[in-house]
Each structure stands twice: as C-alpha cells, then as structure tokens.
Structure 1
Amino acid sequence: MSTATLAEPLSRAKQLKASTHTAHEKIDKLVMRHEPFQSLESYGHFLRLQHVFHGALEPVYLNENLNNLLPGLSQLNRFPAVEADLNDLEMPIPPSPEAAAIGSAYQALGWLYCSEGSNLGAAILFKHTRQLNLHETHGARHLAAHEDGRALHWRAFVQQLDALELTEEQDQEVIAGARAAFDFYRDQLHRVYGEVA
C-alpha cells in the first residue's frame, strides 16, 4: 500500500484563482497597455470603465440574500466611490449601467470574487494615482484600501466565501460566474476604448 499522503483539496478561493489566472493576467496587461495614469484624460477613460463594472455589480452588493450569506457585503460596494471620483475630477457621470446579467446567486459569488480580488490588486494602481495628485479623498477613492487594510479585508472575504456549504454543481456555477465577470470587464474595456475585441 502506498504511504503517499493525498494532497489536500484546494479551497474554493484557490480553485477560483486557478480557474481565472489566465483571464486575470490578460486583463491586467490590457489595462496597463492603455497607460491609465499617463494623464487625467487617460485616467478618465479608466474611471468610465470602472463605472460600468462597479455599476453593473451594485445590485449584487445590495442583494439581501447575498448579504445574508456574506454579512457586511453591502458596505463593500464601490460604485458610489467611483461616482465621487468622477465628481472630484469634474467629469460627467455616465448614466447608471444596466445590472450585470447573472444567472444565479452562486454565479454572483464568482462575480464578487473577481470584484473583491481587484481591490487587493488595486494597491499598485493606487500608488500610480499619486503621480496625478489623486488620493483616497480626491479622485482615487474607489482604489483606496479598505479601512481594515487590503490583506486583512481580503482574508476575511475569502474566509466567508470558503465557509459556504455548496454542492459541486454550485461550486461550478461560482467558477462560471468569476469567468463571466472577467469576460465582462474585458468586453467593457474594449468598448470604452473603442476597440474591436
């Protein structure tokens, strides 16, 4: 009999990371290719992209059932901060985007993984805003760290996500939702920048 120890199964968050790694890397490169911090005009394009994404997700953050699953979720909604950033820079606020087409609460969890993960990665973006004289109370509110700190906040979110008791099929929906969120962001990036995908 083999004495080899079976590998521990990946946590839900680690499965999501593995399943979206390639899409995540591609989007990071796409965003930086457009040099969003080269000028206030460039940053304005980036803000409009963020407005579409976070606006499409606002109903998810405010959903009562999801707030029961993930207590405190509504407080993480960054759409008002994006609109405040646009106001700070005296940029016109686009019409509120349509809610994202999300098929189930489990898929919504995948979208939330994508959105909350982006806040962890926003530490680098937030540093770049300094060259435009933007900060957490003017123009870069939505990129600022959570009051508990980025890492601590992310760990708390992941713990909530990993603790949910889901079936294998429901877990597959979570992964599908995360992939759909990355696809949505990529498609909106191409639209905002007038590119053909």
Structure 2
Amino acid sequence: MPDRPALRSQRLNQVTHAPHAELDALVKAHAPFDTRESFARFVVAQYLFQAELQPLYNDPDLVAIVPDLAQRCRAQQALLDLADLGTQAPAALRGPLQAPSLGEAMGWIFVSEGSKLGAAFLIKRAAALGLSDSFGARHLGEPLGGRAEGWKQFTRILDGLDLTAEEDAAAERGAVAAFARFTELLKHAYAVDAQLV
C-alpha cells in the first residue's frame, strides 16, 4: 500500500481508485454515447444517484460547512434531461443512503462533486448525439464559477475539516460506498425493460 497522503481529498482519491476504474469500465461497456436511447439509460442512473443525494445537498448542517452546497445538486438537471430524452423519471431503488455521519456524508458528496470534472469530457461526447447543457445533457454542464474552481473550493473545505480518526475512516467508507451505489444504479438502469425509453 502506498504511503497515506496528508490531504483528506487525496486519501479519498487513493481509496476510490479501484472502484472508480471499475465504474469507468462498466460505463464504457454500456456505450452510453452510441445512441440517445443508451444515453437516456445513463441519465436514469445519474438521476437516481443525484435524487438520493439531494437530502445531503440540502442538509442544514452540511450547508453550514459548504455554503453553496444546495446549488451544487444536479438532481433537477438530470430530471429535465430525462424529459428532453422522452424518458420517464424512474422510481427510487431500494437501499439509498440513510442518516450518514458527517464523515460518511462528506465521502459521498466528494464522489458526486468529483464526477463534475469527468463530465467535461462526457458532455463533448454527448454533443455528437445533438445534446448539450441546455438539452438532454444539462447534468453534465459546467457549474457556475467553473468546474475546476468549484472542485478546489470543495476540497479546500473538505481538507480543512477537523474530523476525528473515526470520522476520517467513515469518509473513506462513504466514498467507496458511493461508487458501489452508482455502479448498482447503472446496472439497474441498463437492465430495466425497454419501456423506459
């Protein structure tokens, strides 16, 4: 095992490296950018994930730590994307995150916020399907203030949090669990019957 980095955000990157690589491979295997129908299923997974995290993004205790947290949530954009793509909003899947500790919640949000960096590449792929940040691929659009700046602001806050060793461990578990949950939602989105699209 390599040395543990000093910064919490770097430690979270380290512990999620393997699940992140597995998820990337799974996304590629489903070829979401081959057709609009396939992309719509990808958006179903994105919507389910963001909708599950919406309570965290609106949590007053977390908003006290990250002041613009509520504005960072992409559930609404993903819902509008589904409408653009002629796809019904799916029912929630059993097993969403329940009452996480502070550390665990920050681990989940770390994964959600980090995905906005990768979205810069995905939205270029979506453009080939005639989609954009104002139609069908809104949830991949650039956040207000820019992707890099938004990420830096979030990681500065995350790295500066005074957490116990237990909460630090919970943040790592939360980040790994977030990748596992998105992987589960992606499999569900591509397995559901064809009536979805």
- TM-score normalised by structure 1 residue count: 0.90
1:175 matched residue in structure 2: 172
Percent identity, aligned pairs only? 37
Does the alignment pair 1:150 with 2:181? no
How far is the alpha carbon of 1:19 from its aligned partner? 0.7
> CA distance change for structure 1 residues 135 and 9 in 2, over 3 Å: closer, same or farther?
closer
Instruction: State the match for 2:53 in structure 1.
Output: 57
Displacement of 1:103: 3.1
Matched, 1:69 2:65: yes
Distance 1:122 1:169 in 2: 32
Contact 1:44–1:91 at 8 Å: present in 2 too? yes
1:127 is aligned, of 108, 114, 124, to 124
- Indicate the structure whose relative CO is greater, using CA pairs within 8 Å and at least 6 residues apart: 2
Q: How far is the alpha carbon of 1:102 from its aligned partner?
A: 4.8
Q: Does residue 40 of the first structure (1) align with residue 32 of the second (2)?
A: no
TM-score (norm 2): 0.90
Counterpart among 158, 161, 175 of residue 161 in structure 1: 158
Aligned pairs, number:
189
Counterpart AA for 1:174: A
> CA offset at residue 93 of structure 1?
1.7
| 2:186 maps to 1:189 | yes
Report the Cα distance in structure 1 between the residues aligned to 2:9 and 2:105, rounded to whole angstroms: 14
Say whether residues 1:110 and 2:117 are aligned partners: no
List aligned pairs for 1:93-108, cutoff 5 A: 93-96=89-92, 99-108=96-105
Aligned residue identity for 1:67: V
AA partner of residue 153 (structure 2): A
Note closer, same or farther for the CA distance 1:31–1:8 as it changes in structure 2 (3 Å cut): closer
TM-superposition CA deviations, 1:4-24 (whole Å, max 9, x none):
xxx995200000000110110
Answer with 1 or 2: which has the greater Rg: 1
Structure 2 letter corresponding to 1:183? A
Q: Is contact 1:55–1:97 with CA below 8 Å preserved after alignment?
A: no
Aligned mates of 2:9, 2:130 — CA distance in 1: 35
- What SS does the aligned partner of 2:16 have? helix
Q: Which residue of 2 aligns with 1:138?
A: 135
How far apart, CA to CA, are the structure 1 residues paired with 2:173 and 2:147? Answer: 25
Separation (CA, whole Å) in 2 of partners of 1:138 and 1:180:
31
Query: Is residue 108–residue 177 contact of structure 2 (8 Å, CA) maintained in 1?
Result: yes
